Amino acid sequence: RRWKSFMTNNRALSVAVLGKDGVGKSAFTVRALTRRFIGEYDPFLELNYKHSMEIDGQYLALDVLDTAGKNSEEKLERASENTEIYFLLYSTTDKRSFTEAEEIAEYLFETKNIDPSTLTIVATKKDLVHMREVDEYEGRFLAQNYGCAFAQISISEHYTETVSTVQNAIKECI
């Protein structure tokens, strides 16, 4: 486990939040880091957050890339450079976002050859049941296919789901 190396080297753990535009990447990032929910974001603004998070009584520095705009191979290449933990989001209300998540997962595993323990596939907007286009089993099957973690959350309703998703991914990875 890499926990001691992060603590003794005092360096930040590199995290990338990926997915189609409109799935809640910025809301997920802000909710996880500050526990606040903000519904409106600039869809073209890519941000890097420096943050410290407590995990099992220890503080760990995080360097979080909140990606924005359309996904391309160049963007994914840049976003995955030196990244140690990935959150791949799709919206349960947007089938195209799930298809794009499948393509991004394939890219990460086939091209970047990432370790499955570094990826968590996150289904967002579970509270919008009346608008659902992607069933939970589809996301679970995708995660199972790659051997990575899966979470289905409502970013707007529960900060605990978002925070625990991030904390669990970090614990799994370090």
Provide DSSP, 148-159.
-EEEE--TTT-H
In terms of DSSP H, where are the helices of 35-151? 73-80, 95-110, 136-146
Q: What is the mean pLDDT of residues 110-133?
A: 97
Nearby residues of 52 by Cβ (< 8 Å), 6 or more positions away: 59, 60, 61, 62
- Domain layout of the chain by residue ranges: 2-173
pLDDT at 45: 78
Amino acid at 126: K
- For the record, the structure tokens of 10 come out as 């005092």
Fold of 2-173: Rossmann fold (3.40.50)
Whether pLDDT at 94 is above 80: yes
Model pLDDT, residue 8: 45
